[in-house]
Amino acid sequence: MTTWRHLLEGYPRIPCNEGEEGPVVLGAPMDWTTSYKPGTRFGPRSIRDAVCNLEFFSLVLGRPVEDLVVFNDLGDVSLPPGSVVESLERIRRVVEGVREDFGENIIVLGGEHLVSLPVIETLHNDIDILIVVDAHLDQRDEYLGNKLSHATVMRRVFEKTGIPIIYIGARAISPEEYDYAVKHGNKIKLYMPHVLRYSDKMKEIADIINNKKIYLSIDMDGLDPGYAPGVSNPEPIGITSYQLIELLKIINEHGDLIAADIVEVNPLGDINDVTSLLAAKMLVEITAILMSKKTR
C-alpha cells in the first residue's frame, strides 16, 4: 500500500467533464533539466486551460464524444523546484498509488520529457510496446555529464524495462544515439516524418503493434514547429497534425492503448496557445479511445 495523496497539489484541475470513471489525469510541472528554452513547468496548466474550449468531437472515432470524455483530474504532483531525483520519486509514488487505486489508464501532462521515466517504469508490466512521438530519441547515455535528463530519458527507460520502442517523427539524432538505435534495431524502430507519407509504413506500424498493450508518449516537438511552436526544443521538418491523428487511428484499431503522456508543451514560446490546444486535442482523443475500449 503506497501513501501518495499527500504528494499531490490537488490543483489545477480541468474545469469541465469531471468524473471518477474517466482515466486519471496528473500534471507533472517539471522543467529542471531543460537545456534550451525553459517553461514546460507551465504546460499542464496551459493544456487544462485549453481543453474545455475544444468541441469534444473525435477525429479518431469519427463522432461526437461528449459522452466518452470524462476526466478524473487529480491535479499536479507537488514537485520541489530543481530537485530532479526527488521530483521523479514523487511522480513514481503517485503513479504507483494511482495504479493501485484506479488502474493503469493514466494520462500524465508534462513538463519536460524526463517525467515519462517514473511513469513508464511503474507501468512497465502493463505495457508491451512504447510509441514515442518525438523529434529526438533521448537515447544519450548522458547529457552534459548528467544521466537523468530530458535528453537521456528513453535510454534510461530502455535500459530499465527493455520494452521495444517505435519512434514517430524522429529527425534530430546524435551519432551516439544513431549507433545505439542501429545496434538495438530489433527493438528500436525509427520512422522519420517524411517516410510516414507512404501508406505501407503506417501498415507496417499497424502490424508491429497488432494486439499489443501500448504506452504512448507524445513529445510535442515531434510535430512540425508550424503545428506546435510552443516547445522547449523546436526542430524543423516534423510530422503534421494529420499524421498524428492517423497514428492514433492505427493505435485505436490495431493496438490496445493503456496509458499516455503529453510532454514538452512550453506556453512561454507558444503562439495563440496553438500548441496547448493541439496537446489538449490529443488529451481528448486519448481519453475517448480509453473510454470507448471500456464500452466495447
Shorter beta-carbon distance to Mn ion: residue 41 or 136? 136
Q: Give the binding site for Mn ion (CB under 5 A).
A: 134, 136, 219, 221
Shorter beta-carbon distance to Mn ion: residue 136 or 140? 136
Query: How far lies 16's CA from each of 41, 52, 289, in Å?
Result: 22, 6, 18
Query: How far lies 190's CA from each of 146, 233, 278, in Å?
Result: 25, 19, 23
Shorter beta-carbon distance to Mn ion: residue 134 or 224? 134
Q: Report d(CA 246, CA 133) in Å as an integer.
A: 13
Which cell numbers in the block locate residue 126?
Answer: 502493463
The residue number whose beta carbon is nearest to Mn ion equals 136
Going through 90-137 in order, the beta strands assigned E by DSSP cover 106-110, 129-133
Terminal C-alpha separation, the chain:
31
Shorter beta-carbon distance to Mn ion: residue 4 or 143? 143
Minimum CB–partner distance for residue 172 and Mn ion (Å): 8
Minimum CB–partner distance for residue 143 and Mn ion (Å): 12
Shorter beta-carbon distance to Mn ion: residue 22 or 230? 230
Cβ–Cβ under 8 Å, residues 204 and 196? no
Minimum CB–partner distance for residue 87 and Mn ion (Å): 19
Minimum CB–partner distance for residue 144 and Mn ion (Å): 16
Minimum CB–partner distance for residue 206 and Mn ion (Å): 24
